[in-house]
Each structure stands twice: as C-alpha cells, then as structure tokens.
Amino acid sequence: MNTERAINGVFFDLGWTLEYHAGEDWLLTPCFLHHAQQSQFHKIDPVLRKQAIADAYRPLTTRHKMNDCEEERVRFTEFYTDLNRSLSLGFSQEVIEEIAWDHTYNFSNYILFDSTRETLKTLKNHGYRVGVISDTWPSTVPQQKEAGLWDYYDFAVLSCDLGVMKPNPLMYETALEAMKLPPEETIYVDDLVLSLDKASEYGIHGVCSIAQNPESPVSSYPCVKEPAEVLTLLKQINGGRL
C-alpha cells in the first residue's frame, strides 16, 4: 500500500457508476417492454404504473436476502406476476416466467461504460484496494464475472447477501471491515446522494456519479460523468499522481 497517498481505497456502486441498464430501468427490461408492447404500456396512467411497480417491488426489499440465482428468478417471477395483475397486462404464466428468467440470467441487460474496465485495471495496477457496495441480486456475481470485472475487486458487499439495502449501516460497516483501510483513506463512488451521505458519516469521502444525468451535477460532492474521471479526481487528491 502506498502510504504517501491520501487515498488508497475505492468503493464503487455498480448501477449508473460502472454499468447501466439496457432497458427503461433495472426492472423494465427490453424483454418486459417487448411483451408489454412498450407504446401500450406507456399509455397506462404514470401514477398508476409507478404505484404498481412500487407495490410489486416491496416484497423484494422487505425480504431481501437471497441465496442464489434460482431464488432470485422465483422472486422476480412473483414480482412480474404482481405487476401483471395490478396493471392488467395480459401476460400468460409462460411469458411471466420468460421475463423473470431474462431479468436473472440475460446479462446483456447490463452495459458497461466505455472506461469501466480500463479504470478498474488502472486502479489495481497502482495498488489501490477496490471494493463494491451495491444494492443488487445474486446474479450480480456471474454477471460481473462474465463482464470480466470480478477479479478487479478485492471484495464485494452485496445487499442480497446481507439482507439489507443502503443506507443501512451494515452495508458500510461490512465494507470498511473488508477494505482494511482507515475510512479517510477511501472514496465511495455512487449515483445516489443518500448513499453518499451515509458513507460520509463513517468518514468515507463521497464522489457522485452523474452518468445518468451528466448535466445535473450535485453541489455537495465531487462529481464524475464516467469511471475514467475517478482517476483524474484521484490524481488531484493525491498531489498529481496515482
């Protein structure tokens, strides 16, 4: 570890930090939108749509711990079943199961930012410890392996393993224990200010990813529009060198 640097460890969120979704959002995948006939789906009252999604999603957050991808597939089958019923989408059981399988096992639903892989590689080559703190599902592990990113992480704190989601303190406490660095020697890159606010309570320096809304920076944290800008920020913090 380079003791001359101010920052020696980087925590990353995943969504809208290292990768983004191929669909309308993380739940409304291209497969879902295909079967829902996207144009017809958008004719449903947006307030009704939003409430139906929130209601169907709630059991995934209140009973969040999951052991494997098959449990994830079953739970998302329940999610899409509830959504189908609430919005009268007319899906057959076969279609619901197809959408749930696609959400779990089709990793093309996730797209890396152009600079993601090279940024992680550069951090590891310069001796930084790199970790993940993310609200996600068991399929994240094989998805990240297929994307070629998993070996760049020293550890990953995934909400589905702990059964809680950010900003629950357990997420940050577990991550700091795994990082094995003082919090003041770390930064956390996330797109949600609420998550960064909780991290800052532990002494972790927050960095806001504005990749989803690059024209809307936040004032409370340094902002990056893509992963490569994390390297530029680290150079600034560490006196011009990685």
Residues 93-106 have pLDDT tens digits of: 999 999 999 999 99
The answer, yes or no, to whether residue 209 has pLDDT greater than 90, is yes
The model's pLDDT over 52-63, given as tens digits with 9 standing for 90+, comes to 999 999 999 999
Count helices and strands in the chain by DSSP H and E runs = 11, 8
Judged by DSSP in three states, 198 sits in helix
Tokens 């950010």 sit on residue: 166
Closest by CA position to 203, among listed 190, 216, 188, 191 = 188
N-to-C CA span, the chain: 12
Q: What is the band of 38 on the pLDDT scale with cuts at 50, 70, 90?
A: confident
The widest CA-to-CA distance across the chain, in whole angstroms, is 61
pLDDT value, residue 3: 64
In the chain, the percentage of residues whose pLDDT exceeds 70 is 99
Full-model pTM: 0.95
Please give the average per-residue pLDDT across 37-54, as a whole number: 94
* Whole-angstrom distance, CA of residue 5 vs CA of residue 208: 21
Q: What is the band of 34 on the pLDDT scale with cuts at 50, 70, 90?
A: very high
